[in-house]
Amino acid sequence: MNQTLLSEVQRLFERTYATVGVNLEECLIDGPRCKHLTKLAGTSARELNGLGRTFLRTADDRLYVGIYYSSWLIEQLERHDPRAGISDSNIRSLIMFVEEINHVLHAALQFKAGLRRIDSEDFTRNLELQGRVDTYMVLLLFVAFFRKTQKVSQTDRRWLRFHLFESQLPDAYRDANLRARYLETAELAGAYTHYLDTLNGATRLEEIRNFHALAYNDKRRYILALTNRLTK
């Protein structure tokens, strides 16, 4: 089931941005491979969520990726298929599932665009910020699909925002850089998606495509400028 869900989410992101020319189902790795790559990634990587992980590596001017989902996460999505509705039973699992797909897709698009410093902090924060924004938009589509009016209520939005931007506590990380990374990207994504909520469908699509093309520091400055403008 989840491989089909993975393909559906990949197609959704590719319709929004661009195709990567790779079936991401072929990038799935198992538990032993995940443990091995985590060990190679260094101490701070061991603090990252073990339920879903993305691994990136460059060699010979090529980008190699791996997506790992724990058996528990897959089981939750099979037991509570989000295509039948999302609730407290599957929202966290769906967020992790979608974010890893998004990380790989945007890493591939940036690599195609000539960005090779995948080990840089800006590259990582860019993926994290974009992932939170795009996952919010995908979750809105899931919620709207099951509403008779196809409209998402403010209660729905507050519920989604809680799980995406508030329930993950950066203080849980011992590594100071990880804490700073997740705190900043969550705050920026929360502010930017508030702005996206004010736009109509066509305008929103153009906006997120333009936003995607920006480098991380440009995204950060853009969101801060938007926030200042909207609060005046």
Q: In whole angstroms, how large is the CA radius of gyration of the chain?
A: 17
Q: Mean pLDDT over residues 122-141, rounded? A: 95
Q: Is residue 55 part of a domain?
A: yes
Q: Is residue 229 part of a domain?
A: no
pLDDT at 169: 61
DSSP 3-state assignment of 70?
Answer: coil
What is the domain extent for residue 20?
2-221
**Does 97 score more than 90 pLDDT?**
yes
Q: Is residue 228 part of a domain?
A: no
Whole-structure pTM value: 0.90
Q: Is residue 205 part of a domain?
A: yes
**Does 138 score more than 90 pLDDT?**
yes
DSSP 3-state assignment of 63?
Answer: strand
Q: Is residue 190 part of a domain?
A: yes
What is d(CA 155, CA 64) in angstroms, rounded to the nearest whole number? 40
Count of C-beta atoms within a 10 Å radius of residue 10: 20
Number of domains in the chain: 1
Q: Is residue 231 part of a domain?
A: no
Q: Is residue 227 part of a domain?
A: no
Q: What is the mean pLDDT of the chain?
A: 88
Residue with tokens 């993950």: 168
